[in-house]
Amino acid sequence: MKSKKEATHEVFWNNFATEKLRGKTIVSARQMTKDEAEAIGFYSRPLVLWLSDGSYVFSMSDDEGNNGGALAGGKGDKEWTFPVIM
């Protein structure tokens, strides 16, 4: 069973994600460019999702932003991976 602190923490981050993503659609998707990756200190180039309000989302290897990471997805019994490029 989660502690009250853990539950509150999870609720906060779920609400944060919902606020940032709800109602938006993906209008474009591409691998991060070499220049973009170098500018933020990444060695890998993850997929970048561009959203309808001009914002973007990309994966990282951890919450400190140490490198780009892969995204996993799926629908029904189909699964896929969007890899990183070195």
Q: What is the pLDDT of residues 59-77, one digit of tens each?
A: 999 989 999 999 888 889 9
Give how far Cα 32 sits from Cα of 10, 22, 48, 57, 60, Å. 29, 23, 6, 11, 12
73, 80 Cβ separation under 8 angstroms = yes
Q: pTM here?
A: 0.81
Average pLDDT, the chain: 91
